[in-house]
Amino acid sequence: RAKETGKARCVMYSPRHSSPTEDDISLEAAMFQAVREGEFVLHYQPIVDATTREIEGFETLMRWKHPTLGMVSPARFIPIAETNGLINLLGAWALKAACVQLRQFQEAAKRPLYISVNISPRQFRSDKFLEVLDDAISYSGLSGDQLVLEITEGTLMIDPAHAETILGKMAERRARIAIDDFGTGYSSLAYLKRFPISVLKIDRAFIRDLPASQKDGAICNAVLDLARHLSLSVVAEGVETEEQMAYMRERGCRYVQGYLTGKPMAANVAIAALTERHYEEVMRAEATKVVQ
Ligand code: C2E
Ligand code: MG
Ligand code: MG
Ligand code: MG
């Protein structure tokens, strides 16, 4: 199955939610076992400065090391976990583990970094969410401003009044909010005014065909312009080529994330990337196979 298909399942209008396949049902049964067996792991993808190529932070990406299927893509298992509620358990674990991991990254790098964690709609709406957040911050000893929480436009729009309350509480803790997959949701731009958002992550769909696609170029330019006027920072997702990197950098995009500057990698590889000079070679060598 193509990665694109997997991603499309996460959006609101997808028919997938109403009709789980047999494969999904057997995966679901295996997931509960997988939690007990500790088969879920976290990988980390560098978010780098487009000019200096220095690693500024990492996005935490969950992986399932299935004993026979190999690595299962989160595009497959996150929607299932979202349906059966397991996401609350997995998400709480990921948030806490990522915060603890960031401390080790910073010790290795000897400089401040940040950690970005994906929060699913169901997690965001859970009564326990703020408790989980506080627990992760206090247990790890991080300060809130080292944490970025990635949510989608859809998450904000399900219940904007509730979202406003939660985002306010996050801001009190100085955690930053990033809009993930920016531009692919169905929401209006008004929420950028209403909510305390710090980062826009331009979806890979708008980067993939750069620099050839004039339409994608126009969209990226418009987002960068908007972000400048609203004092938001921008991360270009899915940057795979030097040309894409140069295109975005020249138009004022400060941060990039993509296979060009580092695939998602295990924590020990991330530490090597932070401490070794030829880190790009280290990262390219560590491409991980993901089952789709
Ligand atoms: P996302 O948050 O938009 O994450 C970015 C995805 O793009 C990741 O896919 C990453 O591996 C992939 N990617 C990064 N750079 C490139 C590139 O240059 N080229 C290509 N082709 N792909 C690139 P991944 O790891 O398969 O994750 C898919 C989605 O699953 C994530 O999309 C996120 O929505 C969700 N997800 C992953 N981990 C978690 C988690 O811990 N919690 C929650 N709630 N969702 C998660
Ligand atoms: Mg993300
Ligand atoms: Mg994204
Ligand atoms: Mg994306």
**Chain centre distance of CA 27:** 23
Q: Which residues contact 232 (CB under 8 A, 6 or more apart)?
A: 192, 197, 198, 199, 200, 226
Q: Ligand 1: which of 12, 41, 118, 286 to mutate, judged by most atoms within 8 Å of the beta carbon?
A: 118
Burial of 161 (0-12, 13-18, 19+ CB in 10 A): exposed
Q: How far is the CA of 160 from the centre of ligand 1 (A)?
A: 25
ipTM above threshold 0.95? yes
CA end-to-end span of the chain, whole Å?
A: 5
**Chain centre distance of CA 198:** 14
Q: What values do phi and psi take at 23, rounded to 5?
A: -60, -45
> How confident is the model at residue 152, as a pLDDT?
95
* Two tokens, residue 278: 């030829």
The tens digit of pLDDT for each residue in 43-90 reads 999 999 999 999 999 999 999 999 888 999 999 999 999 999 999 999
Ligand 1 atom 8 nearest Cα: 61
In the three-class reduction of DSSP (H, G, I as helix; E, B as strand; rest coil), residue 140 is classed as helix
Which atom of ligand 1 has the smallest separation from the CA of 6? 28
Instruction: Report whether 98 contacts 132 (CB < 8 A).
Output: no
Per-residue pLDDT of the chain (292 residues), as tens digits, is: 334 333 333 233 334 455 666 777 788 888 988 988 999 999 999 999 999 999 999 999 999 999 888 999 999 999 999 999 999 999 999 999 999 999 999 999 999 999 999 999 999 999 999 999 999 999 999 999 999 999 999 999 999 999 999 999 999 999 999 999 998 987 778 889 899 999 999 999 999 999 999 999 999 999 999 999 999 999 999 999 999 999 999 999 999 999 999 999 999 999 999 998 656 555 655 554 454 4
In the three-class reduction of DSSP (H, G, I as helix; E, B as strand; rest coil), residue 186 is classed as coil
> How confident is the model at residue 2, as a pLDDT?
37
Q: How far is the CA of 152 from the centre of ligand 4 (A)?
A: 10
